């Protein structure tokens, strides 16, 4: 019975019947497929597990992050606006949210260089950076990225986010406030026709800001080539989910007087942890939707390890070495795993094992910026060496020599001979020369 039901659901979601009903059917098909894929990923446990990990990291990092932001904003004289944004995020907790905001602000006010000292300040900076690092790792998981940014890039870009992020938020809030003081905006607000629409737009401002922050994170944080359109789709979905979850959670709190009576003073901590968990889970769900929008081929297969045929592995190894060689010959070019993924239109998680094999064989190496380079002089890298990496190397073998049928052995030898005849004694350098001649 359950198998039949599952089969019917599978046919409805992945079949083409709904598409026959025009645009509405195609939209419904897309929504159902994305919903199916996200629910499958949630029930698999990885998104929820990473959300829990981020909650733990948040508890360690929230005060250092806000203290760092306040240190930047105090110089601009607008630190109070960040407090207002924190209150907005915790608004679904009601009065509990106000209490948590006040307690965090008290902790932040107690943080200064003279109290912390050198070791304390270093710990605060480390916890703030580790928070962003955890977010990047979670997004890299969603985007099938096997290789994170280098330590130097991480430190530089994370510090840039910590310094620029609070300033950007305050500038956006200031721009919104200044627009509200314009005469035409005042006229719209007081107009009988446009007034209700303007009031609704004003109430939507916090959600639009959340959508903007989500979009930026989806575009910037993964160590992958994320198209802005994909990040925007994920940001809109994440912002909508965040707003909806906030309304539902606020209604839930309003009807949990019995739970609050049982847990007493612990209730505020429990509700704060639940709200943090929901926020991180929503953020990762939005990232997953952004990934599926950009890579719809993964909607059905999910996180199953990609399987490559031997022919695909051979072509992939040759293409990787060719692109690395092209970049190496051009002084203005460089190439890394992310760029290879974009050029070949193949996810980096599929390319990474081939690159690892080529590195083990001494055919590839990486520099301090994680850029890929030939492992030795390209005239000494034969095409046979490249193919051997995926055709021969890595065999585990057995304790006994295999006993092949004579006819099968003959066919295998013929195939090997044909491959050798095709590539003869050509090297990677020869291949690049041929490419330049044809160009």
Whether the Cβ atoms of residue 284 and residue 116 lie closer than 8 Å to each other: no
Rg from Cα positions in the chain: 28
CB atoms within 10 A of CB 243: 18
pLDDT of residue 44: 86
Whether the Cβ atoms of residue 215 and residue 234 lie closer than 8 Å to each other: yes
pLDDT of residue 114: 47
Element (H, E) at 29: helix 22-44
Closest of 38, 10, 29 to residue 303, by C-alpha = 38
CB atoms within 10 A of CB 192: 6
d(CA 231, CA 415): 47
Closest of 345, 350, 325, 349 to residue 335, by C-alpha = 325
Chain center to CA of 180: 35
Contacts of residue 366, Cβ cutoff 8 Å, sequence gap at least 6: 359, 372, 373
d(CA 216, CA 206): 15
DSSP secondary structure string for all residues of 372-409: EEESS-GGG-BHHHHHHHHHTTT----SS-----HHHH
Model pTM? 0.67
pLDDT digits 0-9 by tens, 35-92: 888 988 898 888 899 999 888 888 777 767 666 666 666 656 555 666 666 666 666 6
d(CA 169, CA 152): 26
Domains with residue ranges and CATH for the chain: 2-42 (no CATH), 46-301 (no CATH), 310-394+403-438 (1.10.10.10)
Which residues in the chain land under pLDDT 70?
1-2, 63, 65-97, 104, 107-121, 124, 162-206, 256-265, 304-306, 393-402, 439
Whether the Cβ atoms of residue 378 and residue 434 lie closer than 8 Å to each other: no
- Indicate the DSSP class of residue 111: -
Closest of 317, 326, 358, 323 to residue 338, by C-alpha = 323
pLDDT of residue 193: 53
């Amino acid at each position: 019975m359950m198998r039949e039901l599952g089969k019917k659901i599978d046919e409805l979601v992945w079949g083409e019947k709904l598409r026959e009903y025009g645009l509405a059917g195609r939209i419904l098909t897309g929504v159902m497929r994305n919903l199916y894929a996200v629910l499958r990923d949630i029930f698999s446990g990885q998104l929820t597990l990473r959300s829990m990990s981020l909650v733990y990291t948040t508890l360690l990092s929230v005060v250092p992050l806000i203290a760092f932001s306040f240190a930047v904003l105090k110089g601009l004289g607008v630190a109070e606006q960040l407090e207002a944004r924190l209150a907005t995020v915790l608004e679904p907790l009601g009065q509990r949210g106000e209490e948590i905001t006040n307690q965090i602000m008290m902790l932040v006010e107690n943080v200064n260089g003279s109290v912390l000292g050198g070791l304390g300040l270093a710990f605060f900076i480390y916890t703030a950076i580790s928070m962003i690092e955890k977010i990047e790792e979670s997004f890299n998981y969603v985007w099938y990225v096997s290789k994170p940014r280098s330590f130097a890039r991480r430190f530089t870009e994370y510090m840039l986010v910590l310094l620029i992020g609070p300033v950007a938020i305050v500038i956006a809030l200031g721009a919104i406030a200044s627009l509200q003081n314009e005469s035409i905006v005042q006229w719209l607000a007081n107009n009988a026709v446009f007034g209700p629409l303007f009031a609704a737009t004003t109430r939507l401002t916090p959600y639009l800001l959340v959508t903007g922050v989500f979009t930026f994170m989806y575009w910037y944080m993964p160590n992958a080539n994320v198209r802005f359109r994909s990040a925007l789709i994920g940001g809109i979905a994440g912002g909508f989910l965040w707003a909806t979850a906030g309304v539902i959670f606020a209604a839930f709190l309003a009807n949990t007087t019995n739970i609050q009576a049982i847990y007493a003073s612990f209730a505020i901590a429990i509700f704060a942890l639940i709200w943090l968990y929901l926020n991180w889970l929503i953020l990762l769900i939005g990232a997953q939707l952004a990934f599926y929008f950009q890579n719809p081929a993964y909607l059905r297969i999910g996180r199953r390890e990609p399987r490559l045929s031997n022919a695909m592995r051979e072509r992939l190894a040759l293409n990787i070495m060719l692109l690395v060689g092209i970049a190496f010959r051009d002084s203005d070019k460089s190439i890394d795993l992310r760029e290879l993924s974009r050029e070949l239109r193949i996810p980096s998680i599929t390319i990474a094992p081939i690159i690892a094999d080529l590195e083990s064989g001494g055919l590839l190496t990486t520099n301090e910026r994680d850029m890929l380079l030939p492992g030795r002089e390209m005239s000494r890298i034969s095409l046979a060496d490249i193919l051997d990496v995926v055709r021969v190397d890595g065999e585990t073998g057995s304790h006994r020599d295999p006993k092949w049928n004579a006819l099968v052995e003959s066919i295998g030898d013929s195939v090997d001979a044909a491959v050798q005849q095709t590539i003869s004694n050509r090297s990677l350098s020869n291949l690049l020369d041929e490419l330049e001649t044809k160009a």
